[in-house]
């Protein structure tokens, strides 16, 4: 069964070219790392996906291991793609990745040709797709020759199982090398996916400039610092929040008194601009010319709506930027 999408879905979304490619990506994309696994409510996952698409969010980001259990986020999206979203495949950019632990034994992680191509086949089955739009290598592999990993990405494109390829979590030098190898293989690297937020600025030192020099786009993950840069933790740690759930990535101990004071000051600045803190945090990453899209996560549709609302005011004055720097370095 399919659902008729909102006829005005492209009226407020903004799109930006991904590097020097022909591909336009929405300025806000939705990731399925959390809240789309086999343990999560399918009805909520479906509402998030359909609601995001209705807002013009045409890009959904996955990885082989998203769940839990690993692989189940791809199955969740696959079910919605076979159902409600089946008429809209050509309006969607679906990405997946391989690089972290996925199955037992020596061929289930990192960057070998064996792992990447087997994983892509598995992802396509779970998604019920003939091809993904973007296939990423999820993290650098210190022990596999980069030529082998990039050769596997080239093979993914040549076999028609991916339209574009990308890399994630590579540093600037690794990015230059990967980009040069792929260029030599006649399959340009489309995009890099690094972490970036007001609280995590490592990409500013070298990577963003490298991406522009190499012509790669940049889809930044965790732009809300997993929810810290939102109204979520202003007063307490809600029981249904990511920090309250068992996680190796965000815990109550991460919300220190110092962090909370920064978050509250940033929230005041956002309010003065007529924005929510999430909207300010997204405008802040999107201000970088190198950044194509901010890749958010969400546990409910109202959060996606709020995030997409950032597009109404992406301008930041020099004074505002200075205030943000002062707050986060305090």
Q: What residues line the site for ligand NDP (CB under 6 A)?
A: 31-34, 61, 138, 168-169, 193, 221-227, 230-232, 241-242, 278, 295-299, 303, 306-307
Q: Over the range 237-266, which residues count as b (16 or more CB within 10 Å of their CB) and which as e?
A: eeeebbbeeeeeebeeeebeeeeeebbebb
Half-sphere exposure of 79 (CA within 13 A, CB side): 13
Which CB, 70 or 223, lies closer to ligand NDP? 223
CB atoms within 10 A of CB 87: 11
Nearest approach, Cβ of 34 to ligand NDP (angstroms)? 5
Which CB, 50 or 310, lies closer to ligand NDP? 310
Which residue carries 């009805």 as its tokens? 43
Which CB, 159 or 237, lies closer to ligand NDP? 237
Report which of 35, 37, 40, 163 is spatially closest to residue 94, judged by C-alpha positions. Answer: 163
Which CB, 138 or 161, lies closer to ligand NDP? 138
Nearest approach, Cβ of 124 to ligand NDP (angstroms)? 18
Nearest approach, Cβ of 100 to ligand NDP (angstroms)? 8
Contact call for residues 293 and 59 (beta carbons, < 8 A): yes
Half-sphere exposure of 11 (CA within 13 A, CB side): 5
Which CB, 18 or 307, lies closer to ligand NDP? 307
Nearest approach, Cβ of 277 to ligand NDP (angstroms)? 8
For the record, the structure tokens of 28 come out as 């806000």
Q: Over the range 157-178, which residues count as b (16 or more CB within 10 Å of their CB) and which as e?
A: beeebbbbbbbbbbebebbbeb
Which CB, 150 or 218, lies closer to ligand NDP? 218
Nearest approach, Cβ of 195 to ligand NDP (angstroms)? 7
Report which of 33, 26, 30, 57 is spatially closest to residue 293, judged by C-alpha positions. Answer: 26
CA distance 319 to 88: 43
Nearest approach, Cβ of 1 to ligand NDP (angstroms)? 26
Beta-carbon contacts of 283 under 8 Å, excluding residues fewer than 6 positions away, are 275, 310, 313, 314, 315, 316
Which CB, 126 or 242, lies closer to ligand NDP? 242
Nearest approach, Cβ of 294 to ligand NDP (angstroms)? 8
């Amino acid at each position: 069964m399919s659902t008729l999408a909102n006829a005005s879905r492209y009226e407020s979304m903004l799109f930006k070219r991904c590097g020097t490619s022909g591909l336009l990506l929405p300025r806000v994309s939705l990731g399925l790392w959390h809240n789309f696994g086999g343990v999560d409510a399918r009805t909520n996952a479906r509402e998030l996906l359909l609601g995001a698409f209705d807002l013009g969010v045409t890009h959904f980001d996955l990885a082989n291991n998203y769940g839990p259990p690993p692989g189940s986020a791809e199955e969740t999206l696959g079910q919605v793609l076979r159902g409600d979203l089946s008429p809209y495949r050509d309006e969607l950019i679906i990405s997946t990745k391989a690089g972290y632990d996925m199955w037992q034994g020596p061929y289930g992680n990192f960057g070998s040709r064996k792992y990447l191509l087997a994983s892509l086949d598995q992802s396509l089955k779970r998604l019920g797709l003939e091809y993904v739009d973007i296939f990423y290598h999820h993290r650098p592999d210190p022990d596999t020759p980069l030529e082998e990993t990039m050769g596997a990405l080239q093979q993914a494109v040549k076999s028609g199982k991916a339209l574009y390829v990308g890399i994630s979590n590579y540093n600037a030098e690794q990015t230059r090398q990967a980009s040069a190898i792929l260029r030599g293989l006649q399959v340009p690297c489309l995009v890099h996916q690094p972490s970036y937020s007001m609280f995590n600025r490592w990409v500013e030192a070298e990577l963003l400039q490298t991406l522009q020099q190499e012509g790669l786009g940049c889809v930044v993950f965790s732009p809300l610092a997993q929810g810290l840069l939102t109204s979520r933790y202003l007063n307490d740690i809600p029981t249904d929040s990511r920090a309250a759930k068992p996680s190796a990535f965000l815990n109550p101990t991460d919300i220190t008194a110092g962090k909370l004071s920064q978050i509250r000051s940033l929230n005041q600045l956002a309010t003065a601009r007529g924005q929510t803190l999430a909207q300010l945090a997204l405008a802040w990453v999107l201000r970088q010319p190198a950044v194509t899209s901010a890749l958010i996560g969400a546990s409910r549709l109202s959060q996606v709506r709020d995030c997409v609302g950032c597009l109404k005011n992406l301008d930041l004055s020099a004074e505002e930027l200075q205030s943000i720097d002062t707050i986060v370095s305090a």
